[in-house]
Structure 1
Amino acid sequence: MVRTLSARIERFPVRGAFTISRGAKTHVDVVVAEVTDGMHIGRGEGTAIYYKGDCAALALAALTGVTGAVAAGAGRGDLLALLPAGAARNALDCALWDLEAKQSGIRVWPRLGLPVPQPMLTAYTISLGDPAAMAAAAAAMRGRELLKVKLGGDGGAAADMERLVAVRRAAPDARLIVDANEAWGSTDIERTLARIAPLGVELVEQPVPAGRDAELEGLRCAVPLAADESCHDRSSLDAIVGRYRFINIKLDKAGGLTEALALRHAAAARGLGVMTGCMLCTSLAIAPAFLVGMQGIYVDFDGPLLIEDRPHGLHFEGSDVFPPDAALWG
């Protein structure tokens, strides 16, 4: 059967505000790819990696540029040559996985040899702000088991410490992850980690700007470090080993479920722990990422909770995210 690829941009408003060290967002534009064989439709969603210079419009143009190749039979194995890693390839790769599942009548997880998916604990993000605002946000979410605290704002390490102390006081029983989003490049990281460790922080994501990872060489880290902006796909791993103990896998960075699964396997072979995360996105993007997350240690799938999600999205209950049903994806 001849396959047809269509793509579009969809906009979803952010609930309140989402603020990190690089700025604030009031909405997110995602690109959606749909591949049909005339009987079945496979769908996938991607969010542009904006700090890499991508945007939804460029992702849409990239998908439009490969409609002929998809119609001619290009499959997931051809995408590495057709598209660079990013939102466009992620959306198309996931759409093809979804289409294959619908054509075969077999869900993606058994095709991967995975056990029946179960609900997973997901982190919930506390946006960057002043200590009082972050404490109020943490207090509102104090029933959640795992909070991810965005740091790296004005005032340097001392101000970040105030923010983190305020969050800990507001949510004394929560487990904490910190995400510096590359903003600690001028900080004494070893000293900073030693100061935040007594607050029960379990993990710190991306303290230094991507490309400056060598600055972490030989540090005595009181809290394990996770590479996010420094780790996109398997080609990133050589610069990770010995500097980070975890990587954050995001399907948009990897360019799809296919590469994300390969990256998880390669990371495990190198002794690296895995957090599976997301950009701001809807449940359609989290559904395929769920299959990577169930093979890792930490999961950060709160993207749909931070925006006005699409109808009939994933089910969230308490601190858990539940597996997608076949009507959503896969």
Structure 2
Amino acid sequence: MPRTLRTEHDRFPLRAPFRIARGVKTAADVVTVSITDGAARGRGEAVPYPRYGESVESVLAQIEGIRALIEKSAGREALREVLPAGAARNAVDCALWDLEARLSGRGVAEAIGGETPGPIATALTISIDTPPAMAAAAAELSNVPLLKIKVDALDPAARIRAVRAAAPAPMLIVDPNESWDRALVEAMQEVLIEAEVALLEQPVPAGEDGWLEGFSPAVPICADESIHVAADLPAVARRYQAVNVKLDKAGGLTEALEVARTARAMGLGLMTGCMISSSLSIAPALHLAAMSDFADLDGPLWLVADRPGGVRADAGFLNPPAPGFWGTP
């Protein structure tokens, strides 16, 4: 039978609004790719991100443009030649990894020389709200291992202090999503020390972070929007102490593995992150999380209903999907 490619736009309503510095989400809009070869089917998912000029329509159009190539049995390396890093390439790349696992009888973990993913501690996100509301949300999560606090430039100190007071035990990541400037970063250093923050994620806009070269932060600063592919790492390593690897930025697991391994070789800390998505986005990311210092993979936990067989949360730990969900024979 010939190989066939299918694309869909799937929408997953959120159980609560997800607020960050650049906007609010009430649903996860994803592009799902299925590639069938004989009796085997591989699946991948991507989240088009407006920050990078993507939409559901543009991603679907990109994938449609390479349909003939994929249906002629092109592989992941050929894919890197015809699509740029981004959501479209991610969905197809991950579908090809899944398909390869099912056709070869060898799981993704074995193919990359890693271990089968097990439970991992994941950051649970406190989205932007008033300090009392954020404190109330943090109090309900005070016994988990890791929290991520979303802030903007409007009195972030009050929000960080409120969360820390309500949740003294968890490690904290603070994520301004590019909303700070240099003056605010410098002014917040004492607050970050006071709140025992473990990591500050992408405080200033990508492209406006050159001044971080030579800056000595009180806590490590992690690149997010400033890092997409391995070629970005030389400049990033001069400015940041860690990188957040996301499949949708890198354009799939193939490039993301290269980013992660190169970052490690350069002595950078590593986080595996995600967009608000279903478990089909998270399953391949778990292979990166096994290599990382931090995992921020709570995207599916915001959904009213996930895909059947997806990840399961337990007291701040994420359990992998059911056998056969993705990446296994």
Scaled to the shorter chain, the TM-score interval is over 0.9
| Normalised TM-score (structure 2) | 0.96
> Which amino acid is the alignment partner of residue 246 of structure 1?
A
* Counterpart for residue 296 of structure 1: 292
Paired residue secondary structure (2:15) = strand
What are the Cα deviations for residues 285-319 of structure 1, in whole angstroms up to 9, with x where unaligned? 00001001101110001000012222221122111
For 1:161-200, list aligned pairs within 5 A: 161-200=157-196
Report what 1:114 is aligned to.
114
Unaligned runs of 5+ in 2: none
1:68 corresponds in structure 2 to 68
Contact 1:251–1:289, Cα closer than 8 Å, also in 2:
yes
**Post-superposition CA distance 1:202-253 (Å, at most 9, x none):** 0000011001121212212111000000001112112211210000000000
Q: Is the 8 A contact 2:44 2:281 kept in 1?
A: yes
Distance of 1:115 and 1:30 partners within structure 2? 28
Report whether the alignment pairs 1:236 with 2:236.
Answer: no
Q: Could you tell me whether the CA contact under 8 Å between 2:272 and 2:292 is conserved in 1? A: yes
Contact 1:6 1:64 in 2 (8 A): no
Aligned to 1:26: 26
Q: Name the CA distance, whole Å, in 1 between partners of 2:287 and 2:151.
A: 29
Q: State the match for 2:303 in structure 1.
A: 307
Which digits, 9 at most, give the CA deviation of each residue in 1:68-92, with x for residues without a partner?
0011121101111111111111010
> What CA RMSD, in Å, does the superposition of the two structures yield over aligned residues?
1.2
Residue 145 of structure 1 pairs with residue 142 of structure 2: no
Paired with 2:323 and 2:250, the residues of 1 have a C-alpha distance of 23
Task: Decide which of 303, 324, 328 is 2:325's aligned counterpart.
Answer: 328
Q: Deviations over 1:163-203 (max 9, x none)?
A: 11111111111211100100112534233123221211000
Look up the match of 2:213: 217
In the aligned structure 2, how far is the partner of 1:195 from the partner of 1:65? Answer: 49
Is the CA contact (8 Å cut-off) linking 1:176 and 1:200 kept in structure 2? yes
Q: What CA distance in whole angstroms lies between the structure 1 residues aligned with 2:10 and 2:45?
A: 10
> 1:283 maps to which residue?
279
| Matched residue type, 1:259 | E
- State the alpha-carbon separation in 2 of the partners of residues 147 and 84 from structure 1: 32
Match of 1:128 in 2: 128
Confirm or deny: 8 A CA contact 1:232 1:254 kept in the other structure. Answer: yes
SS of corresponding position for 2:188: helix
Unmatched runs of 5 consecutive residues or more in structure 1: none
Distance 2:173 2:16 in 1: 21
Contact kept, 8 Å, 1:29 with 1:56, in 2: the verdict is yes
For 1:130, the aligned partner's letter is T
CA contact (8 A) 1:194 1:221 kept: no
The residue type paired with residue 79 of structure 1 is: L
Per-residue displacement from partner, 1:254-283 (whole Å, max 9, x unpaired)?
000000001111111211111000001010
Matched residue type, 2:22: R
Distance 1:64 1:146 in 2: 40
Equivalent residue in structure 2 for 1:258, among 246, 254, 264: 254
Aligned residue number for residue 17 of structure 2:
17
C-alpha deviation, 1:54, in angstroms: 0.3
Contact 2:309 2:322 in 1 (8 A): no
Distance in 2, Cα, partners of 1:52 & 1:133: 30
**CA–CA separation in structure 2 for the residues paired with 1:269 and 1:190:** 29
TM superposition score normalised by structure 1: 0.96
Check the 8 A contact 1:275/1:300 in 2, yes or no. Answer: yes
Equivalent residue, structure 1, for 2:265: 269
SS of the aligned residue for 1:281 comes to: coil
Aligned to 1:78: 78
Distance in 2 of aligned mates of 1:145 and 1:270: 27
In 1, are the aligned partners of 2:32 and 2:46 still within 8 Å (CA)? yes
The one-letter code matched in structure 2 to 1:66 is: I
312-321 or 256-265, which moves further after superposition?
Answer: 312-321
Secondary structure in 2 aligned to 1:240? helix
User: Runs (4+) of structure 1 moved beyond 6 Å?
Assistant: none
Distance 1:137 1:222 in 2: 26
